[in-house]
Amino acid sequence: MKITASENCGVKETLEQKQAELAWVLRARDGIAIEKSADQMDEIQYATERDLAIRNVDRESTLLRQVNAALRRIHNGTFGTCVDCEETISPKRLIAVPWATRCIKCQEATDREGQEPEDASETFSNAA
């Protein structure tokens, strides 16, 4: 079975849109993160917001990497193939999650094993 979801279902367009969107959001957040306030209270309030923003940026950078990788896979023709079992990922899944690298079965197994921790928030807590 040949998968042409990337051409037929606008997955590439979705990915490119997502890529542009995330790049924009991350650039905008960059601007927020270097903003400075003279007011001490604002500064404290701001630190909390920044902390939150950093966590979001982390999540968005991860997603952007996944989107970029998916676009690369479209280019080299491996898009739509599970990286674990090399089975075809269902087109339905690819439309919902175009940057998915695994079929639903392997993804669930990975999630259960917790091999890929998405949450790196500990890295950011009280580094100073």
Residues contributing to the site for Zn ion (CB under 5 A): 82, 84-85, 103, 106
DSSP secondary-structure letter at 67?
Answer: H
CB of residue 102 to Zn ion, shortest distance in Å: 5
Is residue 41 packed enough to be buried (19+ CB in 10 Å), middle (13-18) or exposed (0-12)? exposed
Pick the closer one to Zn ion by CB: 31 or 114: 114
Pick the closer one to Zn ion by CB: 49 or 84: 84
Residue with tokens 């079992």, as numbered in its chain:
85
CB of residue 73 to Zn ion, shortest distance in Å: 14
SS3 74: helix
The angle that helices 11-33 and 40-76 make with each other, rounded to 10 degrees, is 160
CB of residue 100 to Zn ion, shortest distance in Å: 10
Pick the closer one to Zn ion by CB: 14 or 88: 88
